[in-house]
Amino acid sequence: MSVATQSTAVRTGRAGRALIVTVLIFFALFYLLPLGVMVINSLKPLPEITGGNMMALPQEPTLEPWRSAWSTAQIGVQATGLKPYFLNSILMVVPAVAISTMLGALNGYVLTKWRFPGHRWVFGLLLFSCFIPFQIVLIPMARLLGLMGLAGSLPGLILVHVVYGIGFSTLYFRNYYAAFPTELVRAAMIDGAGFFRIFWRIMLPVSGPIAVVCIIWQFTNIWNDFLFGVSFAGLDAMPMTVALNNLVQSSTGVREYNVHFAAAILAALPTLIVYIVAGRYFVRGLMAGSVKG
Amino acid sequence: MSAEAMPAATSRADLRGRLQDWLPRLVLSPSVAAMLVFVYGFIAYTIYLSFTGSKMLPSYDWVGFDNYRRLFGLSAWTTALVNLGIFASLYILISVAIGLMLAIFLDQKIRAEGGLRAIYLYPMALSFIVTGTAWKWLLDPGIGIENTMHLWGWESFRFDWIKDRDMAIYTLVIAAVWQSSGFVMAMFLAGLRGIDNEILKAAQIDGASNLSLYRRIVIPMLRPAFLSAFVILAHLAIKSYDLVIALTGGGPGRATELPATFMYSYTFTRNQMGVGAASAVIMLMGVASVIVPYIYAEMRQGDDR
């Protein structure tokens, strides 16, 4: 990825610039429209949505849809709202991200500074595993989780996310450590520092930026996952995305659009907040996953 | 390079040295074992199942290529493949076109560049389920965009693709492009920022117009970004599942069935595990045909370092 930040030297005329700015603003509205409309309509009572204009601001703003989405909406058997599923997602994401990031850091360290014959093969196989369509592992994974007694449980989901997260976390740390001067590691070895000492004292202290990138990437991916959740979570360990889908698709009763919107925003909020706070790292993670150096 | 270089004065140090020698491999081994079992072992198992007569549960009676023959005889699978063809080509083409245009425009010393970039890219942080929920409703003729246009006085405005068997697949394209075109923009922008401005200045002095400058010099230099965008978008398209479930559920009828939804319903709701496994194998082959050459090229490039 390039580090240069200056814009192009190409010069454009005044009419050209006006056109460019218009197009850029049009697309900004295109990207903002769905989110904006969801926020506006999540604050309306239901009749205002079904009988009114989606672009109109709420006449009688209400927070009732949000309260309902969070704590009383009917999802599955009981009317619990999204609260328990939000908790499920948190309990699933935190350990899965922590474990896969730690393993990724260690793997990246070994694959760059302690190379052994065949290290390239190991990395190639890990890299390919990042991109497989997960449909190819659904059947055996369901079998295995059943045999291990982990079907429909949070530990089962955590295991799944760690296993399929290692590829990306290793990729990040490996590419980052590859640029780190090997001479320093060698010098420490001559001084008698061992494998873990070098990792703790030399590698980890410089790993801040890539750790943030990796954590954000894993957090976003695991939080947003639907396929594994719908396949392996059952009713008790259901994560946020699956609960949201169940709420929106449920065919019983009146469709409470305002509640659906509030629920959708609640499901999106954690990753959106991460994006707003640390967008720079999020972008870097996306790029590192595609245009690796 | 390994710990062998360390002087081994005593036998204890020798033991430690040997341990240090094995430690890296020991640390790596849980991940490698997990990968071999959960990725490659599972792939092998699914391939094996695709040659058995498994229905609701895995069974081990060998049926040869029967499942593949049945698969390609099913009209639902043909529909899924045709839909994927339409969806993937439009999704890639439009995302790349919009991404490239936005990147080039943003690169023209735009004052609010940072803010605009953040707006273009935020959909990538959302789950496809959220995206699907939002667009499902925007595209619903009864309350969404069509209804709004009617209320604003444009009575004859029609936009009911999501209910139309022939057009529903294009609603998937709209939502998917909305989600990922900002990401493509970021890839192209990084590519543009890597181009040496001296080359552009020289071409301008030679009297090249802006249009030919971009067509002849800039866009050809963005080849790596085009390639990355293609690979990422193509494999995302083949894997598309969440968005279909949230936006259309595969309907109306089978109008938006894709291989990923086909695989899931045949395996887990129609109890045709053998056929489902066969469809998963075909999906893997599709992804591999895009990803493997890319990884191979990247790794060979890495050799130079």
* Residue ranges of domains in chain B: 3-49, 67-303
HEC string of A140-165 equals HHHHHHHHCCCCCCHHHHHHHHHHHH
Q: What is the pLDDT of residue A132?
A: 93
Question: Is the CB of residue B256 less than 8 Å from the CB of residue B169?
Answer: yes
Fold of A83-290: MetI-like fold (1.10.3720)
Q: With a CB-CB cutoff of 8 Å, which residues 241-260 of chain A face chain B?
A: 241, 244-245, 248-249, 257, 260
CA-CA distance, A105 to A199, in Å (whole number)? 9
Q: What is the pLDDT of residue B111?
A: 85
Mean pLDDT of the region A217-225: 93
- pLDDT tens track for B287-304: 999 999 988 887 776 554
- First-last CA distance in chain A: 7
Q: What is the pLDDT of residue A281?
A: 80
In sequence order, what are the beta bridge partners of A75?
Answer: A78
Q: What is the pLDDT of residue A230?
A: 93
Least confident of A4-8, B80-84, B231-235: A4-8
Is pLDDT at A89 greater than 80 in this prediction? yes
Q: How confident is the model at residue A4 (pLDDT cuts 50, 70, 90)?
A: very low
Q: What is the pLDDT of residue B10?
A: 54
Least confident of A11-25, A264-278, B9-23, B225-239: B9-23
Q: What is the pLDDT of residue B6?
A: 46
Distance (Å) from the alpha carbon of B153 to chain A's nearest alpha carbon? 12
- pLDDT tens track for B62-93: 888 989 999 999 999 999 999 999 999 999 99
CA-CA distance, A89 to A220, in Å (whole number)? 11
Longest dimension (CA), chain B: 92
Task: Name the residue of chain B whose CA is nearest to A32's CA.
Answer: B119
Q: What percent of chain B is modeled with pLDDT above 90?
A: 49
Q: With a CB-CB cutoff of 8 Å, which residues 214-243 of chain A face chain B?
A: 220, 223-227, 230-231, 241
Q: With a CB-CB cutoff of 8 Å, which residues 196-225 of chain B face chain A?
A: 197, 200-201, 204, 210, 213-214, 218, 224-225
Q: Is A91 on the interface with B (CB under 8 A)?
A: no
Q: What is the pLDDT of residue B1?
A: 41
Pick the most confident of A128-132, A285-289, B57-61.
A128-132
CA-CA distance, A271 to B129, in Å (whole number)? 13
CA-CA distance, A234 to A255, in Å (whole number)? 24
Mean pLDDT of the region A186-194: 88
Q: What is the pLDDT of residue A3?
A: 39
Q: Is A12 on the interface with B (CB under 8 A)?
A: yes
Q: With a CB-CB cutoff of 8 Å, which residues 81-140 of chain B face chain A?
A: 98, 101-102, 105-110, 113, 116, 118-131, 133-138
Question: Is the CB of residue A176 less than 8 Å from the CB of residue A207?
Answer: yes
B2 CB-contact burial (10 Å; exposed 0-12 / middle 13-18 / buried 19+): middle
Cβ-Cβ contacts under 8 Å, B295 against chain A: 124, 127-128
Q: What is the pLDDT of residue A243?
A: 92
Q: How confident is the model at residue A58 (pLDDT cuts 50, 70, 90)?
A: confident
Is pLDDT at A1 greater than 80 in this prediction? no
Q: Which residue in the set B25, B35, B134 is minimally distant from A125, CB to CB?
A: B35
Question: Is the CB of residue B108 less than 8 Å from the CB of residue A14?
Answer: no
HEC string of chain B equals CCHHHCCCCCHHHHHHHHHHHHHHHHHHHHHHHHHHHHHHHHHHHHHHHCCECCCCCCCCCECCCHHHHHHHHCHHHHHHHHHHHHHHHHHHHHHHHHHHHHHHHHCCCCCCHHHHHHHHHHHHHCCHHHHHHHHHHHCCCCCCHHHHHHHCCCCCCCCCHHHCCCCHHHHHHHHHHHHHHHHHHHHHHHHHHCCCHHHHHHHHHCCCCHHHHHHHHHHHHCHHHHHHHHHHHHHHHHHCCHHHHHHCCCCCCCCCCCHHHHHHHHHHHCCCHHHHHHHHHHHHHHHHHHHHHHHHHHHHHHHCC
CA-CA distance, B225 to B187, in Å (whole number)? 6
Q: Is A30 on the interface with B (CB under 8 A)?
A: yes
Q: How confident is the model at residue A142 (pLDDT cuts 50, 70, 90)?
A: very high
Q: What is the pLDDT of residue B3?
A: 45
- pLDDT tens track for B31-50: 999 999 999 999 999 999 99
- pLDDT tens track for B153-166: 888 888 888 888 88
Mean pLDDT of the region B209-228: 87
Q: What is the mean pLDDT of chain A?
A: 87
Q: How confident is the model at residue B7 (pLDDT cuts 50, 70, 90)?
A: very low
Mean pLDDT of the region A68-77: 82
Domain covering B67-303 assigned CATH 3.30.70.260 in the classification: no
Q: What is the mean pLDDT of chain B?
A: 87
* Residue ranges of domains in chain A: 14-62, 83-290
